[in-house]
Amino acid sequence: MEATEAAQTGHAAKYTRNNPYMSAVQQNYRLTAEGSEKETRHVALELEAGMQYTPGDAVGILAENRETEVELVLKALGFSGDERVLDHYKVEISLEEAVRTRLAIGKLTRSTINQYAKLVDPANPIMQLKAMTGPEGKALAEEHCWGREFIDLLHEFPGVLKEPQKLFTVLQRLTPRMYSIASSQMMHPNSVETTVRVIRYDAHGRGRQGLASGHMGERSPVGSTLPIFLHANGNFRLPEDTSKPIIMIGPGTGLAPFRSFLEERQAKGETGKNWLFFGDQRSKLDYLYQEQLEGMHKDGVLTHLDTAFSRDQQTKVYVQDRMQEKAAELFKWLEDGAYFYVCGDATRMAKDVETALLDVIAKGSNGTLEHAAEYLETMKKQKRYQRDVY
Ligand SMILES: Cc1cc2nc3c(=O)[nH]c(=O)nc-3n(C[C@H](O)[C@H](O)[C@H](O)COP(=O)(O)OP(=O)(O)OC[C@H]3O[C@@H](n4cnc5c(N)ncnc54)[C@H](O)[C@@H]3O)c2cc1C
pLDDT for residue 325: 98
Cα 292 to averaged position of ligand 1 atoms, centre (Å): 26
Boundary (domain end) residue, out of 203, 231, 259:
231
What CATH number does residue 121 fall under?
1.20.990.10
Q: Residue 237 falls within a domain, yes or no?
A: no
Q: Are residues 116 and 224 in the same domain?
A: no
User: What was the pLDDT predicted at 334?
Assistant: 98
Residues 86 and 217 in one domain: no
Does residue 352 lie in a domain region? yes
Total length of the chain: 390
Give the residue whose CA is nearest to atom 36 of ligand 1: 147
Q: Do 262 and 371 belong together in one domain?
A: yes
CA distance 250 to 341: 8
For the chain, the C-alpha Rg in angstroms (whole number) is 24
Q: Alpha helices, DSSP H only, in the chain?
A: 67-77, 95-101, 110-118, 127-130, 138-145, 150-156, 167-170, 211-218, 256-268, 283-286, 290-299, 319-325, 327-335, 349-364, 369-381
Residue 117 lies in a domain: yes
- Indicate whether residue 219 lines ligand 1 (CB < 6 A): no
**Domain check: are 32 and 86 in the same one?**
no
Q: Is 199 in the pocket of ligand 1 (CB under 6 A)?
A: yes
Ligand 1 atom 9 nearest Cα: 196
Q: Are residues 182 and 54 in the same domain?
A: yes
Helices 256-268/290-299 angle, 10° precision: 40
Dihedral sign (CA 85, 90, 92, 97): negative
Q: Is residue 11 part of a domain?
A: no
Distance 33 CA to ligand 1 centre (A): 21
Q: 41 and 157: one domain?
A: no
- 99 close to ligand 1 (CB < 6 Angstrom): no
- The finding on whether 255 has its CB within 6 A of some atom of ligand 1 is no
Domain end marker among 126, 154, 170: 170
The predicted pLDDT at position 233 comes to: 97
The answer to whether residue 350 sits within a structural domain is yes
Are 194 and 343 in the same domain? no
For residue 1, how far is its CA from the centre of ligand 1 (angstroms)?
15
Q: Please work out whether the CB of residue 288 comes within 6 Å of at least one atom of ligand 1.
A: no
Cα 149 to ligand 1 centroid, rounded to whole Å: 15
Using most ligand atoms within 8 A of CB, pick from 41, 229, 347, 390 the residue to mutate for ligand 1: 390
Q: Is residue 14 part of a domain?
A: no
| CATH assignment of the domain containing 377 | 3.40.50.80
pLDDT (tens digit, 9 = 90+) per residue, 147-189? 999 999 999 999 999 999 999 999 999 999 999 999 999 999 9
Question: Could you tell me the pTM of the whole model?
Answer: 0.94
Whole-Å CA distances, 363 to 263, 355, 368, 375: 33, 12, 8, 12
Instruction: Identify the DSSP state of 20.
Output: -
52 and 95 part of one domain: no
Domain that holds residue 121: 67-170
Same domain, 184 and 332: no
pLDDT at 94: 98
Of 317, 286, 290, 319, which is closest to residue 302 (Cα–Cα)? 290
The answer to the question of residue 138 being in a domain is yes
Classify residue 5: in a domain, yes or no.
Answer: no
Residues in CB range of 97: below 8 A, 6 or more apart: none
Check pocket membership of 1 for ligand 1, CB cut-off 6 A.
Answer: yes
Q: What is the pLDDT along the chain (390 residues), one digit of tens a residue?
A: 434 444 444 446 799 999 999 999 999 999 999 999 999 999 999 999 999 999 999 999 999 999 999 999 999 999 999 999 999 999 999 999 999 999 999 999 999 999 999 999 999 999 999 999 999 999 999 999 999 999 999 999 999 999 999 999 999 999 999 999 999 999 999 999 999 999 999 999 989 999 999 999 999 999 999 999 999 999 999 999 999 999 999 999 999 999 999 999 999 999 999 999 999 999 999 999 999 999 999 999 999 999 999 999 999 999 999 999 999 999 999 999 999 999 999 999 999 999 999 999 999 999 999 999 999 999 999 999 999 999
Distance CA 289, CA 258 (A): 11
Residues 59 and 79 in one domain: no
pLDDT of residue 310: 98
Residue partners of 44: CB distance under 8 A and separation at least 6? 25, 26, 27, 28, 183, 188, 191, 192, 193, 194
Instruction: Tell me: do 50 and 199 sit in the same domain.
Output: yes
Q: In whole angstroms, what separates CA 284 from the centre of its chain?
A: 24
Number of domains in the chain: 3
Q: Do 302 and 370 belong together in one domain?
A: yes
Q: Of 121, 155, 170, which residue sits at a domain end?
A: 170
Q: Which residues does residue 192 pair with via DSSP β-bridges, in sequence order? A: 45
The SS3 assignment for 138 reads helix
Positive or negative, the CA dihedral 43, 49, 55, 56 is: negative
pLDDT the model gives residue 12: 61
